[in-house]
Amino acid sequence: MVCVRFEGRAVRARSRDCSITQAGALRGVVLGAEFMYALARRRRPQGACEHMSKLSFEQSKSEGGIHHRLGLLVGEWEGTTRTWFEPGKLADESPCRGTIRPALDGRFVVHEYEGSLQGKPMAGMAIHGYHIDADRYETAWIDSFHNGTAIMFSKGAAGDQAHRVLGSYGAPPGPAWGWRTEIEQPEPDRLVITHYNVMPDGQEAKAVETVYQRRRAG
């Protein structure tokens, strides 16, 4: 286990383990979902509810829609990840690479990345989406350093251009801490992913920031 200290209080960080198992498990979920989706499309009758849902999804995929904005994240990326274990005290700065691809006809995007933390390899994967009926962003995230063998599920109200979601993780023997994620694309070829620790009293501190530039072929 790793002990992270915020304002004099020690908090257990999640252990580094099972990166290959985690990535394989989440990748299996994505592939399984894609297979079941394709199978369902062959068998399911075209009812009124499905037709309306399809219309909403098509609208969301059109220019300016949220699924269209998710699609703009797709590509090959490289950049730098910075990590803080204490507020304002940089613990690590390392290069990273990532791939974002669409899943289920653009309903979701899957982000797979790899880099290092304090000289040790690190990798992770996240599924990002927009739940049309609930009008909210949703994310499922695994990471070989931060999450151990857990999958973190996060959600957040749809609002401006940024994808903002909030999850949580256990910090025994105390209460759970929040983990807020923001994904912003200020320019077509620039992507910023920021994670914040949210303390039980509501204070926030930047924990991880990845700044990507789109990687061009050749």
- So where are the chain's domains? 2-214
60-108: pLDDT as tens digits = 999 989 999 999 999 999 999 999 999 989 999 999 999 999 999 999 9
- pLDDT score, position 123: 96
* Residue 145 scores a pLDDT above 80: yes
**How sure is the predictor about 216, in pLDDT bands with cuts at 50, 70 and 90?**
confident
Higher pLDDT, 9 or 191: 191
What's the whole-model pTM score? Answer: 0.76
Average pLDDT value for the chain: 82
Hey, what CATH topology would domain 2-214 get?
Lipocalin (2.40.128)
The structure tokens listed for 113 are 């990345």
For residue 16, give every residue at least 6 positions away whose Cβ sits within 8 Å of its Cβ, in sequence order, or none: 2, 120, 122, 144, 145, 148
For residue 141, give every residue at least 6 positions away whose Cβ sits within 8 Å of its Cβ, in sequence order, or none: 124, 125, 126, 127, 147, 151, 152, 154, 167, 181
* Residue 49 scores a pLDDT above 70: no
**What is the spatial distance between Cα 156 and Cα 165, in angstroms, rounded to a whole number?**
4
Tell me the backbone φ, ψ of residue 217, rounded to 5 degrees.
Answer: -65, 140
* Alpha carbons within 13 A on the beta-carbon side of 97: 4
Q: Running DSSP on this structure, what letter comes out for residue 62?
A: S
- pLDDT score, position 161: 77
